[in-house]
């Protein structure tokens, strides 16, 4: 359990698929990626699981029914034919690895099963992508030291970082019922907030709507009540990751959050990208965890292993773009407003998981852990408007001359990401998109 | 929607059941109560739904199969035959009322269906009570002004109540996966905390294990994303209530909770009583909401209706007892340590629900809302040790001479409650019990 992540033939950069990759986002989904999702189409409105490959989606239920996965255990096949990813997430890690190898073999150039597999591949443009996981529990962390300092500085200029930050990955429970797939419209939420110049709150549509660019981590097998997962075993308990936008209404959040933390300022919507990139696909992009700051106390032993220090980081590069209605009407391209990197995150996703269940808390297959806003040290690497606007001291100028404080109705926010490493096929994540609609 | 809660023949104090009521807790379950739960027994280990009546449990699946509920809509019958209460909770309020009337008629003295119904009634001592609801989302509120002042005073003696308290029911997301039925053992959780005299945290078993006596509120039909429930309609969205113990590790909570609120100091276990007392059963005990303090600003209009002011309160009287292992070994009775009353709660359960979805947050059938610690103005009406011990300045003396700070291994904590009103049959809730086990 303390070894480097394993690479196998599915990670070979020379591997190619016979599925076309002409579409604009096909580069996200080479055969080295094989992310899992859930979809329906006009011909069959029943939701089912799929694998993104080039321009296409492999229908996993059809593949099972065609006998293409019959070398796999019956339980793996049954999970692949299910209606949600949760059953597959509950399978042991070695079954998930075996599935990846089978899928890679079916989809590779030269596959002997190409013809029968081709009958199970749909064009991605012909399907509707659905929420992939029945998320039972959602937890949001706060693991970027840059984000913590930037936001803490606005409240406590002399002492931005709280004493617990270096000791544990701070987290809080989020709202699972409003975790929705990319594309779900975001209606500007109402709430109580202190408006400028008033000592009493008023109830109305938020005037400080923000996004937060995060990585989402899906739990795999999880753990039983009272039985923690050690850091050494944490990689076996992580199924995969997605892009996540933790939409936030800063004015509502500010008024409500003492003493018990964020609530309605967050729970109106959390968006996730439709594809779950497995931990196996990320193996070539595992890097050392971010260096701990020199003044930090040594890690508590349950949060430290050499393997986590050496391979706990992930080299994922995010891009956040904004396009206003005026920009779209004028045919302008979206404007890049942030390029944070996950390598700067102070805590690893494995530390998050191990800390979460260190008190015996049960994690269920498909539970979602948000990393918290991903922000880096430079102004180009900030992951939310609260930081970009420096708490209202700055504005952003968009192409065409509009200025932006917080998000306006009609604004479309898009998070994408990619993993790049020398000698490796780059992989992407698809997109996590949301458009701000006027308050209902 | 603004009228007083309706009473009907099921609330008649003169009504009696033919089911025996000799057992010690049978007084909690007269025919005017009819709370719903979930159980299994040796003869049939399949979980099914039941109704507590006197000493017995009416097996709802058996009642459906025997045709005893055939006057009800097919959907109600299907929900009654299901494995969890959630499907029944999702039915419209009028169907739940109709079910109550049917059950009352079947179980009343003089029922023409007594013989066939009797075949569906098991002795409660012969069944194992299970978690009644598949809780998808758990939210904990903080709605006692006495609890808020008592705990706030420990941190901010000059200014115990935060500015938002009078304006909205403060709440935060809890952990749904560790909401468990009464009787689930509580293993003392590990966590990071600052031990006396140290500036650095250490990881180990909590040394400040507390309980919180709360009312749990189960959501009925709920609401779709983006579609709030007005306060006038909130009673239709509440299915019923239970007793809830929000176990808390104060040392873990204190270290982790800034800036994002409680997390692992709470998520190791939340216990609920096995029976769900429906809002219909509580109709005779609906009372005016607690008076607002004179200095409080007027309520925001979404949190105010005359009906909520007049009938939003609940006259529920809790009793919290503690028994140590030494007390049990010596044959001593449990010691009463608190008798809080829900009538003192500053916010109503309907205000909690309406506020929760005021931002568009979706509430699902069976979602659980905790009231927060129920504490009253006197020393006898405190709902947690944090208040009873005044943050460590006091101890409790138990019968036999033991003293208690926070909970010790072997301590058993029991919450019970009853509703009493003149000219009405009193009803009870069963018990929410947990015994502290040594750390694993």
Which position among B146, B147, B355, B356 bears the catalytic label?
A: B147
Question: Using one digit for the tens of pLDDT, what is the confidence trace for A107-135?
Answer: 999 999 999 999 999 999 999 999 999 99
Distance CA A5, CA A43 (A): 40
A177, A225, A259 ranked by CB distance to B362: nearest: A177
Residue numbers in A near B228 (CB within 8 A):
190
Question: Using one digit for the tens of pLDDT, what is the confidence trace for A358-399?
Answer: 999 999 999 999 999 999 999 999 999 999 999 888 999 999
| pLDDT given for residue B21 in this prediction | 87
Question: Using one digit for the tens of pLDDT, what is the confidence trace for A279-297?
Answer: 999 999 999 999 999 999 9
Distance CA A349, CA A231 (A): 10
- CB within 8 Å: B152 and A201: no
Distance from CA of A171 to the nearest CA of B (A): 7
End-to-end CA distance of chain B: 51
| pLDDT given for residue B2 in this prediction | 54
A257, A260, A359 ranked by CB distance to B189: nearest: A359
Residue numbers in A near B258 (CB within 8 A):
162, 164
Residue numbers in A near B358 (CB within 8 A):
190-191, 203, 264
Token digits for B198?
């140290």
| pLDDT given for residue A391 in this prediction | 80
- CB within 8 Å: B360 and A261: no
Nearest chain B Cα to A254, which residue? B164
| pLDDT given for residue A325 in this prediction | 98
Nearest to A132 by CA among A32, A250, A216: A216
Sequence-distant contacts of A391-395: CB under 8 A, at least 24 apart: A391/A154
* Phi and psi at residue A341, to the nearest 5°: -125, 135
Contact A256, B300 (CB under 8 A): no
Contact A275, A298 (CB under 8 A): no
Residue numbers in A near B257 (CB within 8 A):
259, 261
Q: Does residue B11 have an active-site annotation?
A: no
Which residue of B174, B263, B304, B436 to mutate against A (max A Cβ within 10 Å)? B263
Exposed, middle or buried, A12 (CB in 10 Å: 0-12/13-18/19+)?
Answer: middle
- For CA atoms B63, B64, B66, B69, give the dihedral sign: positive
| DSSP assignments along B67-85, one per residue | TTTTTS-HHHHHHHTSSSS
* Phi and psi at residue B77, to the nearest 5°: -60, -40
pLDDT at B408 over 90: yes
Question: Using one digit for the tens of pLDDT, what is the confidence trace for B255-291?
Answer: 999 999 999 999 999 999 999 999 999 999 999 999 9
Share of chain B above pLDDT 70, in %: 100
Nearest chain A Cα to B270, which residue? A361
Question: Using one digit for the tens of pLDDT, what is the confidence trace for B312-367?
Answer: 999 999 999 999 999 999 999 999 999 999 999 999 999 999 999 999 999 999 99
Look at A23 and A247; give whichever has higher pLDDT: A247
pLDDT at B154 over 80: yes
pLDDT at B197 over 90: no
Question: Using one digit for the tens of pLDDT, what is the confidence trace for B129-147?
Answer: 999 999 999 999 999 999 9
Nearest chain A Cα to B138, which residue? A175
| pLDDT given for residue A413 in this prediction | 98
pLDDT at B1 over 60: no
| pLDDT given for residue A155 in this prediction | 85
Which residue of A267, A299, A357 to mutate against B (max B Cβ within 10 Å)? A267
| pLDDT given for residue B24 in this prediction | 76
Token digits for A337?
């407003």
Nearest chain A Cα to B174, which residue? A173
Query: Which residues make Cβ contacts (< 8 Å) with residue A199, sequence separation at least 6?
Result: none
Count of beta carbons in the 10 Å neighbourhood of residue B149: 15
Token digits for A217?
């981590």
Print burial letters for B323-341: b (CB count within 10 Å at least 16), e (below 16): bbebbeeeeeebbebbbbb
Distance CA B413, CA A20 (A): 64
Contact B245, B185 (CB under 8 A): no
Nearest to A14 by CA among A31, A27, A28: A31
| DSSP assignments along B79-136, one per residue | HHTSSSSHHHHTS-HHHHHHHHHHHHHHHBTT-TTHHHHHTTEEEGGGEEEE--S---
- CB within 8 Å: A267 and B192: no
- CB within 8 Å: A302 and B175: no
Average pLDDT (B220-227) is: 96
- CB within 8 Å: A175 and B173: yes
Which position among A11, A146, A147, A356 bears the catalytic label?
A: A147
Q: Residue A2 — very low, low, confident or very high, per pLDDT cuts 50/70/90?
A: low
Nearest chain A Cα to B253, which residue? A260
A175, A258, A260 ranked by CB distance to B262: nearest: A260
Share of chain B above pLDDT 90, in %: 93
Distance from CA of B225 to the nearest CA of A (A): 7
Nearest chain A Cα to B201, which residue? A167
Q: E strand or H helix at A59, and its extent? A: strand A56-59
Distance from CA of B255 to the nearest CA of A (A): 7
Residue numbers in B near A436 (CB within 8 A):
none
Nearest chain B Cα to A363, which residue? B177
| DSSP assignments along A150-204, one per residue | HHHHHH-TT--S-TTTTTS--EEE--GGGEEETT--EEPPEEEEE-TT-SSEEEE
pTM for this model (two decimals): 0.97
Contact B433, B183 (CB under 8 A): yes
Contact A179, B273 (CB under 8 A): no
Distance CA A152, CA A164 (A): 13
Question: Using one digit for the tens of pLDDT, what is the confidence trace for A62-88?
Answer: 999 999 999 999 999 999 999 999 999
| pLDDT given for residue A392 in this prediction | 81
For tokens 């799929």, name the residue: A50
Question: Using one digit for the tens of pLDDT, what is the confidence trace for A391-431?
Answer: 888 999 999 999 999 999 999 999 999 999 999 999 999 99
End-to-end CA distance of chain A: 51
- CB within 8 Å: A359 and B267: yes
- CB within 8 Å: B225 and A178: yes
Distance from CA of A230 to the nearest CA of B (A): 13
Which residue of A226, A251, A269 to mutate against B (max B Cβ within 10 Å)? A226
- CB within 8 Å: A262 and B260: yes
Residue numbers in B near A360 (CB within 8 A):
178, 187, 189-190, 268-269, 440
Distance from CA of A252 to the nearest CA of B (A): 10
B172, B259, B359 ranked by CB distance to A191: nearest: B359
Q: Provide the pairing of β-strand B286-287 with B396-397.
A: unpaired
Share of chain A above pLDDT 90, in %: 93
Contact B344, B146 (CB under 8 A): yes
Residue numbers in A near B203 (CB within 8 A):
300-302, 358
Look at B138 and A159; give whichever has higher pLDDT: B138
- CB within 8 Å: A256 and B170: yes
Distance from CA of B186 to the nearest CA of A (A): 9
| pLDDT given for residue A25 in this prediction | 79
Count of beta carbons in the 10 Å neighbourhood of residue A83: 14
Distance from CA of A53 to the nearest CA of B (A): 32
* Residue A413, beta-bridge partner list: A322, A434
Token digits for B146?
């006495």
User: What is the three-class DSSP state of A228?
Assistant: coil
Nearest chain B Cα to A302, which residue? B203
Distance CA A240, CA A279 (A): 5
Distance CA A185, CA A176 (A): 17
pLDDT at B252 over 90: yes
- CB within 8 Å: B258 and A359: no
Distance CA A179, CA A211 (A): 14
Residue numbers in B near A358 (CB within 8 A):
190-191, 203, 264
Average pLDDT (A185-214) is: 96
Mean pLDDT, chain A, rounded, equals: 96
Q: Provide the pairing of β-strand A286-287 with A270-272.
A: unpaired
Distance from CA of A303 to the nearest CA of B (A): 10
User: Which CA distances in Å does A247 have to A175, A372, A397?
Assistant: 12, 11, 21
Mean pLDDT, chain B, rounded, equals: 96
């Amino acid at each position: 359990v303390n070894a480097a992540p394993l690479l196998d033939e599915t990670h070979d950069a020379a591997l190619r698929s016979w599925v076309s990759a002409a579409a604009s986002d096909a580069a996200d989904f080479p055969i080295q990626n094989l992310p899992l999702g859930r979809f329906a189409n006009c011909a069959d409105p029943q939701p089912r699981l799929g694998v993104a490959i080039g321009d296409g989606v492999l229908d996993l239920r059809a593949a099972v029914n065609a006998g293409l996965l019959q070398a796999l255990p019956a339980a793996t096949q049954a999970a692949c034919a299910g209606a949600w990813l949760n059953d597959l997430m509950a399978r042991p890690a070695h079954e998930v690895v075996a599935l990846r190898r089978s899928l890679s073999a079916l989809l590779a150039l030269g596959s002997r099963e190409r013809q029968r597999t081709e009958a199970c591949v749909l064009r991605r443009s012909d399907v509707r992508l659905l929420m992939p996981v029945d998320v039972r529990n959602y937890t949001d962390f706060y693991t970027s030291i840059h984000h913590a300092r930037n936001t803490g500085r606005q409240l406590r200029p002399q002492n931005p970082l709280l004493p617990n930050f270096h000791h544990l990955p701070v987290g809080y429970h989020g709202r699972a019922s409003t975790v929705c797939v990319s594309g779900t419209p975001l209606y500007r939420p109402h709430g109580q907030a202190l408006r400028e110049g008033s000592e009493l709150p008023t109830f109305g549509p938020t005037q400080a709507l923000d996004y937060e660019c995060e990585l989402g981590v899906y739990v795999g097998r999880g753990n039983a009540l009272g039985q923690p997962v050690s850091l050494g075993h944490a990689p076996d308990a992580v199924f995969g990751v997605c892009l996540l936008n933790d939409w936030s209404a800063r004015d509502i959040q500010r008024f409500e959050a003492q003493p018990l933390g964020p609530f309605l300022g967050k729970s109106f919507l959390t968006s996730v990208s439709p594809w779950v990139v497995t931990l196996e696909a990320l193996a070539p992009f595992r890097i050392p965890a971010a260096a701990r700051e020199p003044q930090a106390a040594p890690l508590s032993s349950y949060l430290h292993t050499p393997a986590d220090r050496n391979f706990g980081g992930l080299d994922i590069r995010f891009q956040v773009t904004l396009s206003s209605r005026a920009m779209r009407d004028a045919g302008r391209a979206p404007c890049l407003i942030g390029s944070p990197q996950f390598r700067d995150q102070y805590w690893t996703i494995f530390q998050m998981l191990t800390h979460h269940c260190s008190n015996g808390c049960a994690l269920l297959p498909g539970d979602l852990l948000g990393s918290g806003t991903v922000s880096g040290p430079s102004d180009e690497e900030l992951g939310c408007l609260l930081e970009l606007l420096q708490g209202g001291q700055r504005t952003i100028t968009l192409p065409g001359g509009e200025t932006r404080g917080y998000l306006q109705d009609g604004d479309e926010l898009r998070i994408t990401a990619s993993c790049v490493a020398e000698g490796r096929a780059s992989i992407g994540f698809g997109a996590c998109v949301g458009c701000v609609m006027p308050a209902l």
